[in-house]
Amino acid sequence: MIPWVTVWGYGAEIKSTRDSLIVRQKGNTTQYPLDDMRHLLIAGGHSLHTSVLERLADRGIAVSFFKAHGKPVGGIYGKGAPSLAAQQRDIPVHKFAMASIRSSLDERLRYINELAEYDPEGLYFKGEFDILTAAREELEYLITLPEIGRAFSLTKTMYYEIIGRKLPKVLGYRRRCQPPFMDPVNVMMSHGYAVLYANFALACTGAGLDLSRGALYGAIVSAPGGRGGCVLDLMEPATVSMIDRVIIQMAAEGRLDGAYEVTSRCLLSNELKEEFMKRLHGSINATLISENVNRYAESVKDGRDIVFHY
């Protein structure tokens, strides 16, 4: 079974026969048996035959659409459980947003502390560790939504700057930024987060959740393009273990060296994209995603506290 098939960039022609998906791009043709597919991810500008969507829908294969840099546009995910949209409108925003922030910050602190153990020169700048740990301790006392938003944005920004110190300077990464991306790390993050988003969106649909109604994203922090707040809330704690670790490991192995070019934006080589997607097949845990999404859905139904486990 192929967890997902990705078509990135521009200019691909996406067709299908009765039994196969056919992708023609840059002179190469690849066929994927429909019986082995679960999800198609399309990012950028391509030619898509309408018969493809009909055949995929008939077989229950999901389709996710993104802009070229990974911003979600929409998706076709089929029918899920009975809708929880009405219950989502009534959830306490503070409690559900805090669940996402707390789990996200815990995952990020755990990872950068792990990286710091193997950094003889010291990963933290003066005072950074104290700021992050103090922010984690103060989460329990934050009351207003603007306070929560500021704490979330501060700690997330610091995290992306700190992990950059473990990456070779030649890659040009300094922090998470807006497109167009001029370094391979930001490109890989955006591609990886898009794949993760698609997996969470599929699970959220299956659980009956309204993808657009977030507690953290949308209510407190702007959701990219105003879409997918619920999906972003749920995937936020998973980005470290399922995406960021893979990218930093590949960089440490030298897999990014010479595998990209920078013109008006950074372009990854086909070999690097294929290797990255192959590794994501191993790091993105669909079972764990479903467990956390279903736990969240049950909390929406009965009001129980929610804790994410990644």
Question: Positive or negative, the Cα torsion across 50, 53, 55, 57?
Answer: negative
Task: Give the CA angle between residues 284, 286, 289 to the nearest 5°.
Answer: 95
306 class by beta-carbon count within 10 Å (0-12 exposed, 13-18 middle, 19+ buried): buried
Helix (H, G, I), strand (E, B) or coil at 194: helix
CA distance 25 to 61: 22
pLDDT tens-digit profile, the chain (310 residues): 889 999 999 999 999 999 999 999 989 999 999 999 999 999 999 999 989 999 999 999 999 999 999 999 999 998 888 999 999 999 999 999 999 999 999 999 999 999 999 887 789 899 999 999 999 999 989 988 889 999 999 999 999 999 999 999 999 999 999 999 999 999 999 999 999 999 999 999 999 999 999 999 988 898 876 689 999 999 999 999 999 999 999 999 999 999 999 999 999 999 999 999 999 999 999 999 999 999 999 999 998 899 898 8
CA distance 100 to 88: 15
DSSP state of 217: B
Output the CA–CA distances (angstroms, integers) from residue 34 to 22, 40, 74, 99, 280, in the order listed.
10, 10, 21, 38, 21
What are the residues whose beta carbons fall under 8 Å from the beta carbon of 52, sequence distance 6 or more?
14, 15, 16, 21
CB 202 within 8 A of CB 278: no
- pTM (whole model) above 0.75: yes
Structure tokens at 161: 């700057």
Provide the β-strand partners of residue 10: 45
